[in-house]
Amino acid sequence: MLENKVAIITGASSGIGRAAALLFAAQGAAVVVNARDAGRLQAVVDEIEAAGGRASAVIGDIVEDATHVRLVETAQEKFDGLDIAFNNAGSVGPYKPLADVTPQEWHETLSVNLSSAYLGARRQIPAMLRHGGGAIIFTSTFVGTSAGMPNMATYGSAKAGLMGLVKGITADYGALGIRANALLPGAVDTPAAGDQAQKEWAAGLHAFKRIAQPEEIARAALFLAGPMASFVAGTALFADGGNAAVK
């Protein structure tokens, strides 16, 4: 499905990002993967290459513009272009009521979840335009879009802001071949989901009465990245086990 395509994937050392890196590579893409943990990220590259795929690691923090510059440069220099960007990395931030959130916590949460997406898109779009267009995907969430959750107003605000970014990119660049969309998972079985009791509580929020495996969300990202979504832009794809439908 992604033969001869080149993809950037952030937050690729674990969870959804790791699953997407493995899947995209298995589908024929060369992947440039990013995270802050060098050891775990290199393990993803090693796994992809052992399976016959192509991958390169860029260590760095997504809140820094220089990280996105290096990601795009690596895609162009090692794999001759950029077609797909899965801006997946993020952070839940402070888990507390809004009035207890400090200005520093607020700005840090918006930086890692929303401003980093702008920084990525700002560097990715020109490279994609030189390659004839491309697909940009942002990992958002149902929190702040279909439902508010206690103690998560900061996170929800940051992630909901991605929809404004998706729509703006579509208005600016849709006619030039850039497709931007947001992917909205429900709870996913990663370390961030907490202990077993927390996972069971989260499962109850979903119509499926379970939480997702990272590979299930990666498959939704693959759809948005690939040719089957050629007329899909400026929208939100809920991959949430019916979470939004039963609120």
Looking at the annotation, which residues are catalytic?
155
- The 10 Å Cβ neighbour count of residue 151 is 14
Cα–chain center distance at 31: 14
Sheet holding 236-239, edge to edge: 54-59, 30-35, 6-10, 84-87, 134-139, 178-185, 236-239
b/e map of 189-225 (b: 16 or more CB within 10 Å)? Answer: bbeebeeeeebeebbebbeeebbbebebbbebbbbbb
Structure token pair of residue 6 = 């080149």
Burial class (CB in 10 A: 0-12, 13-18, 19+), 39: exposed
